[in-house]
Structure 1
């Protein structure tokens, strides 16, 4: 995946830039820090952009800040309803969702947090009206009317509330105004999509204004659950937001915002990966028990020995023979993906000019909860599941935050200074009820039978042997297959086969995080054209963790007692270990029933930025910057991470094994920005070096969280072998393990008032170093990650181009106007799996969205037709190891959305 982009992809990139420039998007490139705002000036043809990226209002052309600012008008034209759709307008951004929308992932410059583990904070932080959302997936819901969105690229280590190691998405909702107004919109689309939106704004006297907005959205799902006669990945959600704005004087304003949103939706289904997605079928050396040669049959072919077992246990062959992008799914009858999400909160922002000094205070409290049932193996065989209810993969956040900033000037305005503080208290509770299904035992016993002798597998029998056990117990041959250990092994297989509807009866994880920070950000005007910006932040983070486990899987300790003594016998250890592992997968064991754990971690970090900028002419800015970013460490909220099932010892549980360290990044950037009323161009080159990079990956059995670093000395390939004990590094030789470097180019053109173009191109080589190790002590890399050294990160395409055109011609003098809007995104190929296994690679693809209509009808109405994914391009968000179906034997995939289209009617007064 680290090889160069294809000629075809480069050609498409050129075509997308030349033919479909990216419309009316106020973008800019530079270093890092929050916030930008775009305002249109009626006297000019181009946008006048004001930013607060350095904590004070400045012209964007004067600020060395890496930020893409998208106006509310642009968001409306592009049909953006949640942050996933920002992919079309920001080439350095990629937002995707996987097995649970509560943990959707945003990536900037190829860096982001992977997976569905709420214990990991987001590399890309999301703020709404200056208030931190606990995880980026919390913003995968209706946004309502938006004033603007800013996407900040690179580490945010000084301003912006919470630290973020990769970037920040800051959303600003439309505020109240001192004029009476209202609006309404109705949309109907395919998949029986209905979206209703409306709001009203009223002044309540001379000093108070109020605004209320609401959105309701309902749509059928993109997957057809054949067995349960329903659809999955549907939409059924609403949002209500109310605001008050109090402005008693020119020097004081206070804005109060309260919102509530609810989702009752089924999410998230997956299909089997077939050759139409992975045509080369290259398998991962040394990792596969069933390797399909290049050009051979799909992994779901009956030549794969696990597939006949699945069919015999009830798997509909149609699910195994259809294409990857056929959206018929065959879920276990009675299982469901139904879930519920609530998100609500209140915030207040105070801005007060005290005369020479300005005070800003943002106070907020939010609650977020999500439960999601699932047929967790994504097959028709009942292997593992989460039943609906309060414990169905639940996560709840309760967050209080307070930010204070003081800013002013000194030395005859030669110094613009800013100091501030931030405090956040976050309480996280995760509840889980993951259980083995009714057929797990037989399925697992069949995996053992296949490992012993495929001819003995008999899925009609509970232990998958039935009468064939005679070939093992000595009845036929007179010699027991495993010597004196044969009775114990056969008894353990019988026990394994009996596992049915066992596992968690309610695991609870609690984590309280207290974060406080002090920061300063100062701009020194050395001359009229040269500025030096220095920022520094001190952060203290404390996390208190406790967990309680409840489990009724008594087969695990029974088989551990039967076979534990065989783990020291070389000839029998693999078989004994395999039976114990399958009996105790994910450390699901009654040995944990009633067990509680607790731990605490505390960390301190200094971060900051330094920028030197020069404006040789009023239209040109040159700059160079250094910034250091940070993302807090924490706890892996998954009991499977306590140890491998075979090595697990309930008497010596090491809660410290759940911890992972903080992630830090050193970033360097140089750039140039040219800006006039009609034309803007920016170029930036960057390099980001990540230490203790937090990687979360699913290996087919459990989630593995590991801090990735590299060794400065050659490990001789020991980081690529199957051993967990080879490949150690001396602590003094540890160095950053992930490097992101590249170039970003963005341009905008506004030749006349009703025609606008913008375009963007990002080249980002975001890759793992060679000679990888597992943490900053020099411990070896986990063998499941052996494909990582020297390759690109997952979901990190090297080349991305975005472009669009917006044309709003006047159709009648002073009256009707037309609307023609198209945007496009070309994405280079990349691997979608965090372990980089072959067969998870997504080819390059090209997505076009469009909107055509007539606006300003009678000065109040508009009608528009729209389409998303115009060419109905099939592509995946994430491919992953099908859970429990023998690691690396079959893959499944979460698909991206197909083509959607519809019509929208709007009115306003």
Structure 2
């Protein structure tokens, strides 16, 4: 097939502070990050310290890091402790491309969820039109761009204290009492419970301590922003310690809805986490943790951005339909300038969800090695209400797909450390059950907007003028998913000599998915709508029109498969401060099932061959160097990578309103490759700076039957001798699908950067010794596509953001500062959406405007 597309579109660091609060049972808030901006726990910088001690991310690790951090404050040669390889070691000794962001950096930059984290870690991409339709990608891969489908896995794993979070919705909630976050780039399946082909976000919270400590923080800002955080930790008995943390965030929405007279895209989050640590002996620790999070946002909507010509007849494109709407009275959008931030969606909006769970972690030091068990249950309750037509017209009057998830995980892991050999052996079991109940309904404006204008009834009247044809037409969707995964994994480190280490890893995985999907269709009075060959005349015309919008369907897809994956890493210590490494991984992402329905044939029967999709087959290559120089005042890490994916799992979206919102298909081949560089410098206690760069070239290498861009959609079906029309030609001939091989993957910029600096001077405030400081954090990303198939209408121009903060940091744990984010009030879009029905409507989600405020916090 010739290409119809291929379109172009122009368009810690050392916190130099003598006032660091010393936590006797938790991690010390400290110095300059090496692979990314971070404040994180430090240990002494001597080569090899902490690399082989077999620690897991528990309170003992925090004790060691805290004590070593205290002794290290006077020197520059300090290293960040990470647990990326399931043991405590310095970031510079880990042969993995890794970014580390500490708790103070999260607070100072306002990165209170994963969405904000991408401004600090440029290789990470996060997109969210609502909590359910959220995705986290690394290097452009991880989850297909578009509507979420429960039937596949995430390529980027999110872990909190060793517990895997299956739903990315958790990424939209606030970080809660976080010690540090590690963003691991590249496949991680031989060390982590769930297989992850693109990377992992490893979040470590502060652990209970046997010495009393506490902290509190309050932030106020414009847009009625209010955020409060607090944590308290200490002993209950000689062997039992507890920690409780709470966080609350609220903010007025950034878009004003003229229909409902309220601001939408608001924030209203609350979360609480409690932990109990029991240490009956020095060798055994048992931690019981529980958390609960609630989000009650007035969300989610979008604003009008533009229209683009499609291949529909002119009288069926947006401008003509809007002029003819409401019986000829017409419809006008509230503003054609998206940065007026006005919307008029008329359906009820809600993005309420609860997320929480309980985890039991047991760590037993057996002398030569450590046995760790992590048992967890998590739930997610999603309660959405949306406006699927993106306008103030009653076209789709109701779109609600509430969902309930329960997941159970068990991981058992043994870490061994020896003179020549280290290894990790693990087993992982995962079970997930998701139930979804959907309701979609069309309103009074739908018939004229949705139906073909040429269809007539026996009396000569136009079908589109008969509002009752679609008004009240309702689809009731019921679905469930049972997802089971079992795995055995391991990784060996062979220290060939003092400089060279060979590190092979393997993973054996079994996955099984059983699903059910049923769509029933009813008229407003409850009469079922079904296919009926006995109908004739007007009854057949009307019934066919309804079935063209909502068609009944029932399928029970099932998938199961075994997979074996492996990797090999070699790293060489060229000198005390230079590490060279290279790795190869042959891995996979589990196959899946279509949980949102499948396409139908000419008779309306579901095409069952589309019910399942094959696993992704992944080959990954990486070369890197980690280096420090100038007496460890400066750090430079550089990584080159290439990932090739066969049978890439892509979202295919249908342009009609309710026939099929989207389904999964294998897209042939995808390739992502690039270079990443992380630089930081700390010449003195008074100044530090960082700059991180990611160049990512991510493309469809082969995708010959992709959904077409809107400019190639909506026209007539071509015959054998018809020629496909050019982009946006009215009443043209549209291809059934398009070859987009060679085009860029959606959502990923070729260039992404983060950069910043902080300067301070010692002084006093109200008699307290400390420092006044000024900090800056900036980010930039080049243009990117915001549609699964690149379209001239959905490129988002590149943009840069600047954040400033200035304040006073006291030696005794008090801090107060003012901040401004998006300081230069840059107008930019986070996402663009193609409106349903191929009318040419493009809406968008603007990024945050300039926000400002102040924060005060203290530790005791």
TM class, shorter-length: 0.7 to 0.9
**C-alpha displacement at 1:409, in angstroms?**
4.1
Return closer, same or farther for 1:495/1:310 CA change in 2, 3 Å cut-off.
closer
CA RMSD of aligned residues (A): 3.2
Trace 1:311-710 onto structure 2 (pairs within 5 A).
Answer: 316-319=331-334, 321-332=335-346, 335-386=347-398, 392-409=400-417, 413-445=419-451, 448-449=452-453, 452=454, 487=458, 498-504=469-475, 506-553=476-523, 557=530, 582-585=545-548, 588-589=550-551, 591-592=552-553, 597-639=555-597, 641-643=598-600, 647-649=602-604, 652-676=605-629, 677-701=632-656, 702-710=660-668
Corresponding position of 2:294: 262
Separation (CA, whole Å) in 1 of partners of 2:207 and 2:331: 53
Equivalent residue in structure 2 for 1:137, among 166, 169, 178: 169
| 1:190-229 equivalent positions in 2, closer than 5 A | 190-229=222-261
Describe how 1:2-17 pairs up with structure 2 within 5 A: none
Q: Provide the rounded CA distance (Å) in 2 between the counterparts of 1:128 and 1:288.
A: 48
Q: Is the 8 A contact 2:115 2:171 kept in 1?
A: no
Match among 320, 324, 335 for residue 305 of structure 1: 320
CA deviation vs aligned residue, 1:272-299 (integer Å, no higher than 9, x gap): 2238xxxxx6x67xx555599xxxxxx8
231-240 vs 673-682, which moves further: 673-682
- How far residue 515 of structure 1 moved from its aligned partner, in angstroms, is 0.6
Q: Is the 8 A contact 2:653 2:662 kept in 1?
A: yes
Question: Cα offset for 1:254?
Answer: 1.8
Match of 2:85 in 1: 54
Match of 1:821 among 771, 775, 784: 775
Secondary structure class of the residue paired with 1:441: helix
2:196 corresponds, among 154, 157, 164, to: 164
Cα distance, 1:817–1:151 mapped onto 2, change above 3 Å: same
C-alpha change, 1:24 and 1:698, in structure 2 (3 Å) is farther
Asked if 1:25 is matched to 2:25, the reply is no
Decide whether aligned partners of structure 1 residues 80 and 2 sit closer, same or farther in structure 2, where only a CA change above 3 A counts.
farther
- Listed one character per residue, the Cα deviations across residues 618-650 of structure 1 (whole Å, up to 9, x for unaligned) are 1111121101332222222223x2426xx353x
Distance 1:384 1:687 in 2: 43
**Distance in structure 2 (CA, Å) of the matches to 1:59 and 1:558:** 65
Among residues 747, 755, 770, which one is paired with 2:687 in the alignment?
Answer: 755
What is residue 117 of structure 2 aligned with on the other side? 86
In structure 1, the residue matched to 2:27 is none
Greater shift, 44-53 or 608-617, is seen at 44-53
Aligned with 2:275 (options 243, 246, 259): 243
CA distance in 1, matches of 2:516, 2:324: 40
Deviations along 1:1-52, whole A, 9 cap, x unmatched?
A: 999999x9xxxxxxxxxxxxxx9333179xxxx9999975313235412233
Q: 1:318-340, CA deviations, whole angstroms, 9 ceiling, x for partnerless residues?
A: 43x521222111122xx211232
Q: 1:833 aligns with which of 775, 784, 787?
A: 787
Q: Which residue of 2 aligns with 1:896?
A: 847
Q: Is the 8 A contact 2:36 2:120 kept in 1?
A: no
2:184 is equivalent to residue 152 of structure 1: yes
Please give the per-residue CA displacement for 1:341-399, whole angstroms capped at 9, x wherever unaligned.
11110112111111212101111101111111112211111111336xxxx31121101
**Higher helix proportion, which one?**
1
After TM superposition, the score normalised by the length of structure 2 is 0.84
Aligned to 2:807: 853
| Structure 2 CA distance for partners of 1:843 and 1:642, relative to 1, 3 Å | same
Give how far 1:439 is off. Answer: 2.2
Cα gap change, 1:409 to 1:758, in 2 (>3 Å):
same
What secondary structure, in the 3-state scheme, does the structure 2 residue paired with 1:74 have? Answer: helix
Q: In the TM superposition, what is the alpha-carbon distance from 1:501 to its structure 2 partner?
A: 1.3
Specify the SS of the correspondent of 2:484: strand
Asked whether the 8 Å contact 2:639–2:675 carries over to 1, the reply is yes
Provide the residue aligned with 1:571 in structure 2. none
Q: How far apart, in 1, do the equivalents of 2:76 and 2:441 lie?
A: 61
Question: Residue 310 of structure 1: CA displacement?
Answer: 3.5
TM-aligned CA deviation for residue 172 of structure 1: 1.0
Answer yes or no: is the 8 Å Cα contact 1:5–1:798 preserved in 2.
no
* SS at structure 1 position matched to 2:189: coil
Deviation at 1:655, TM superposition (A): 4.5
Q: 1:188 aligns with which of 194, 216, 220?
A: 220
| 2:751 maps to which of 799, 805, 811 | 799
Quote the Cα distance in structure 2 between the aligned partners of 1:132 and 1:901. Answer: 34
Deviation at 1:166?
1.4
Q: CA deviation digits over 1:518-556, x for unaligned, max 9? A: 011001111221111100000101111123433214696
SS at match of 1:157: coil
Taking a change above 3 Å as real, the CA distance of residues 551 and 518 of structure 1, as seen in their structure-2 partners, is same
- 3-state SS of the aligned residue for 2:197? coil
Asked whether the equivalents of residues 496 and 582 of structure 1 are also in contact (C-alpha less than 8 Å), the reply is no
In 2, Cα distance between the equivalents of 1:684 and 1:833? 29
Q: Unmatched 5+ residue regions in structure 1?
A: 9-22, 276-280, 293-298, 453-462, 464-468, 470-485, 568-575, 711-736, 776-781
**What is the CA deviation profile of residues 477-535 of structure 1, one whole-angstrom value per residue up to 9, with x for unaligned ones?**
xxxxxxxxx7499686677752211212x322111111110011001111221111100
Q: Distance in 2 between matches of 1:314 and 1:326?
A: 25
Q: Counterparts of 2:577 and 2:354 in 1: how far apart (Å)?
A: 47
Q: Match for residue 723 of structure 1?
A: none
Match of 1:108 among 138, 144, 164: 138
Deviations 1:841-895 (A, max 9, x none): 11110011222111228x34322111221122222222122123xx152111122
| Aligned match of 2:95 | 64
What is the DSSP-based 3-state SS (H/G/I as helix, E as strand, rest coil) of the residue aligned with 1:551?
A: strand
1:62 to 1:224, Cα distance in 2 relative to 1, 3 A: same
8 Å contact 1:235–1:265 — kept in the other structure? Answer: yes
- Checking the alignment, whether the CA contact within 8 Å between 2:444 and 2:467 is kept in structure 1 is no
Distance 1:613 1:402, change over 3 A: same
In the TM superposition, what is the alpha-carbon distance from 1:662 to its structure 2 partner? 1.9
Give per-residue Cα distances to partners, 1:668-713, cap 9 Å, x unaligned.
0111111253111111111100111111143432433343444xxx
Please say which of residues 522-531 and 119-128 is displaced more in the overlay: 119-128
In the comparison of the two structures, how many residue pairs are matched? 772
Post-superposition shift, 1:429? 1.1
Q: Please list the CA deviations of residues 79-120 of structure 1 after superposition, one character each: whole Å capped at 9, or x if unmatched.
A: 22111111111110111211x222311121111322232413
Alignment gaps of 5+ in structure 2 = 12-30, 38-55, 708-733
CA distance in 2 between counterparts of 1:160 and 1:196 reads: 33
Q: Tell me which moved more, 89-98 or 103-112.
A: 103-112
Aligned counterparts of 2:271 and 2:649: Cα–Cα separation in 1: 33
Residue 139 of structure 1: SS of its match in structure 2? helix
CA contact (8 A) 1:271 1:324 kept: yes
